[in-house]
Amino acid sequence: MGPQRDAVWPEEGVVRQFPKDGPRILWRKPIHGGYAGPAVAEGRVYVTDRVLTPGARVPDDPFSTARVAGKERLICLDARTGEQLWLHEYDCPYEISYPAGPRCTPAVAQDKVYFLGAMGDLYCLDARSGRVHWSKNLPREYGAKVPTWGYCGHPLVHDGLLYCIAGGKGSLAVALDKDSGKEVWKALSAKEPGYSPPTLVRLHGKERLLIWHAQALNALEPKTGKLLWSVPLAPKYGMAIMAPRVEGDLIYAGGIGGAAVVLQALPNDQVKVLWKEVVGETESRERGLYPVNMTPFVHQGVIYGVDQEGMLRAVELKSGKRLWFTFLPVIGKEEDEDYKGAGSGTAFLVKNGDRFILFAETGHLILAELTPQGYKEISRAKVIEPSNAAFGRKVVWSHPAFANKCAYIRNDKEIICVSLAE
C-alpha cells in the first residue's frame, strides 16, 4: 500500500506508454513459493518465500491442509542489482490451504523489518544485517488456531507500536512495542480472525484503528485498544481480506459472497450505515463490490476494484450503485458468451499521477485511465509468468512494489525488477 498506506505512487518520470517490446527487465533473482508482495526501502528489497524440505511436495488439491515440511525465508536484496545481502530462514511445517508460501508483505520502519509468516511466526530483524532482535509465535503465545489459509494480515507499524492480527480469546488484535516485542494491549474475540490487515485511518481528525475480522468491522483507539464501535460484516468462509478504505468520513469494506458496507463516521465515534449487503439476506448482487484477493481504490466518491467474478468494477461509494464493469484487465478481453467468470479473479491497482498502474494475475502490467465514465486501457505488457494454480488456471497473486521508477514483481520462481522510467 506504500508508506502512506493509500496505494498512491507519487513517483514522477514514469513511462506513459510501454515500448513495443515491453518494459526493460533490469534484473532477475531466483526465489521459491509465496504470495507475499515485496517491500522496498532504503535501497533494499525484502521478499519472502518458502523452500520445501527434500522429498516434501505440495498436495495437488490446494484446499488440502496436509502437513508439508519446509522452511520460510526472508531475503534482503540490493534494489539496484538484485544481489542478495542477507537471508533469514527457519523451519516451518505448513498445515494450511494453498500452502505455496508466506502471505504477509514485510513491514519496514527505520532500521527494522517485521515479518509475519503463514503459521504465525513473527520476527523483528535488523533491516541492514538481518540480525534477529526478537521473535514470537502468535498461535502459541495467544492460544490461537492458525487460520485455514494461514496468517495473511500484514503487520502495521505506527507511532512506536506494531499492530498484528494474532487470534485467540480477547487477543484477536494485539499491539506490541516495536523495539522489544512486549505486549502493550490486546483486544477483540471472534470465531475466526479473518485475513484483513490492521488499518490505521483518520476520522474527524482522530486516528482510529480498523480491524475487520470474520464477523464484524471494528474501530479501536490505537493507543489503548479500546473498542469504539462494531458493525457486523461477515463474508463467506470467514474471508475478510481487503484493507478497509476511507475517503473523508466514509468507510468501505466488502468481501466474497455479497458482504459489503459503507459507513459514515460521526464526530462522536459512532457510525451510520449508508448501505449494506449481507450474505444470504440482502444479497442483491445489483449493487456494491465484493473483492477477494485485492484491496479496491476509492477516489472522488467512486470505488474501483475487482469483483469476485473477475471483472473490474466502478461503484458509487455513497449508494453502492454500479457504474460500469469490464473483464479486460484480468483476462485480456471483454466478456464473451462462453466466458463464465474467473473465480477470485485478481488485479492490483496503484494510482500514479492521472492514471492507474494495474498488475493482473496473468502477469501483465497495465497502464489505464479509470473514471466514473469507464475504463480506458493505454498500454499492457506481459512481464512475468503466472506460476501458481487456482481454479483451473495459472495465476500470480502477489502485489508488486513500486519504487525507484521500477516495479518489483515476484511469482513462485523469481523476483524481477522492471524499469518504468520514461
Cα distance between residue 271 and residue 264, in whole Å: 5
Residue 419 sits in the same domain as residue 341 = yes
What CATH number corresponds to the domain at position 123?
Answer: 2.40.10.480
Residue range 41-69: mean pLDDT, rounded: 93
Residue 58 sits in the same domain as residue 1 = no
Percent of the chain with pLDDT over 70: 97
Q: Grid coordinates representing 129?
A: 544485517
- Is 307 within a domain? no
- Is 228 within a domain? no
- Is 224 within a domain? no
Q: According to the model, what pLDDT value does residue 399 have?
A: 97
Q: According to the model, what pLDDT value does residue 338 have?
A: 53
Listing DSSP states for 234-295 in one string gives --GGG---SPPEEETTEEEEEETTTEEEEEEE-TTS-EEEEEEE-TTTT--SSB----SSS-
Condensed to tens digits (0 to 9), the pLDDT of residues 399-417 reads 999 999 999 999 999 999 9
Condensed to tens digits (0 to 9), the pLDDT of residues 97-108 reads 999 999 999 999
Q: According to the model, what pLDDT value does residue 155 have?
A: 98
Q: Grid coordinates representing 278?
A: 449481507
pLDDT at residue 392 greater than cutoff 90: no
Condensed to tens digits (0 to 9), the pLDDT of residues 255-307 reads 998 899 999 999 999 999 999 998 777 655 688 999 999 999 999 999 999 99
Burial of 97 (0-12, 13-18, 19+ CB in 10 A): middle
Cα distance between residue 275 and residue 273, in whole Å: 6
Cell 480472525 sits on residue: 193
Percent of the chain with pLDDT over 90: 87
- Whether the CB-CB separation of 5 and 399 falls below 8 Å is answered with no
pLDDT at residue 83 greater than cutoff 60: yes
Residue 58 sits in the same domain as residue 146 = yes
Condensed to tens digits (0 to 9), the pLDDT of residues 92-133 reads 999 999 999 999 999 999 999 999 999 999 999 999 999 999
Among 3-17, 24-38, 189-203, the least confident range: 3-17
In 3D, which of 280, 275, 210 has the Cα closest to residue 5? 210
Burial per residue of 179-212, b for 16 or more beta-carbon CB atoms within 10 angstroms, e otherwise? eebeebbbbbebebbbbbbbbbbebeeeebbbbb
pLDDT at residue 40 greater than cutoff 70: yes
Q: According to the model, what pLDDT value does residue 340 have?
A: 55
- Whether the CB-CB separation of 419 and 24 falls below 8 Å is answered with yes
Q: How many domains does the chain have?
A: 2
Residue 145 sits in the same domain as residue 51 = yes
Residue 75 sits in the same domain as residue 146 = yes
Break the chain down into helix, strand, coil percent, rounded to 5: 5, 45, 50
- Is 345 within a domain? yes
Q: According to the model, what pLDDT value does residue 282 have?
A: 60
In 3D, which of 273, 283, 375 has the Cα closest to residue 323? 375
Residue 345 sits in the same domain as residue 407 = yes
Cα distance between residue 218 and residue 89, in whole Å: 35
Q: Grid coordinates representing 2?
A: 506504500
Residue 44 sits in the same domain as residue 102 = yes
Residue 49 sits in the same domain as residue 14 = no
Residue 47 sits in the same domain as residue 149 = yes
Residue 9 sits in the same domain as residue 87 = no
What range defines the domain where residue 333 resides? 1-30+328-422
